[in-house]
């Protein structure tokens, strides 16, 4: 059975898309730790980060860096934090989280955003991508 992220990538489930290329996809986390919390995933469905082929791993990190640089411009913060967990969704994903305090990297700390806010943030991040 396909992961929920594979369904998002295929357009079968909606998301607030931030970026996409042939191999990678970025979208906003639906239950964000902080405003701008973004997930970056390889389109190829692999469970664990360090099981990725080296080229895919390197490509994922390269793509995540591009998104993180745009994210920091779109959502001013002290820095963008990175986390890889995967205990909920068994499809590799890099969490990019705008950090202003240690609370923001704590997955028990959540913020509530309206659909229009998600849309605005996704559009803003996209606009800073290069
Ligand atoms: P983890 O697998 O523990 O790294 O956590 C999975 C993350 O995916 C959580 O932060 C969820 O909020 C997020 N998530 C789960 N379903 C969706 C979805 N449909 N759209 C966006 N984010 C999601």
The model's confidence at residue 49, banded by pLDDT at 50, 70 and 90, is: very high
CA atoms within 13 A on the CB side of 32: 24
Ligand 1 centroid – CA 95 distance (Å): 9
Predicted confidence (pLDDT) at residue 130 exceeds the cutoff of 90: no
Is residue 82 within 6 Å of ligand 1 at its C-beta?
no
Give the Cα separation of 123 and 125 in Å (integer): 6
Tokens 């239950």 sit at which residue?
31
> Can you read off the two tokens belonging to residue 114?
């309206």
Q: Decide: residue 55, CB within 10 A, 0-12 exposed, 13-18 middle, 19+ buried.
A: exposed
Is residue 31 within 6 Å of ligand 1 at its C-beta?
yes
- How do residues 77-107 score in pLDDT, each as one tens digit? 999 999 999 999 999 999 999 999 999 999 9
Give the Cα separation of 120 and 30 in Å (integer): 14
pTM for the predicted model, two decimal places: 0.98
């Amino acid at each position: 059975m396909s992961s929920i992220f594979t369904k998002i990538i295929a357009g079968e489930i909606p998301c607030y898309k931030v970026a996409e290329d042939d191999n990678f996809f970025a979208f906003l986390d639906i239950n964000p730790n902080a405003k701008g919390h973004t997930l970056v995933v390889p389109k190829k469905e692999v469970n664990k980060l360090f099981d990725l082929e080296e080229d895919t791993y390197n490509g994922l990190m390269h793509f995540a860096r591009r998104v993180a640089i745009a994210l920091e411009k779109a959502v001013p913060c002290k820095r963008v934090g990175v986390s890889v967990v995967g205990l909920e969704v068994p499809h590799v994903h890099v969490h990019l989280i705008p950090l202003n305090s240690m609370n923001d990297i704590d997955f028990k700390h959540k913020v509530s955003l309206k659909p229009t806010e998600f849309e605005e943030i996704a559009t803003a991040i996209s606009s800073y991508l290069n």
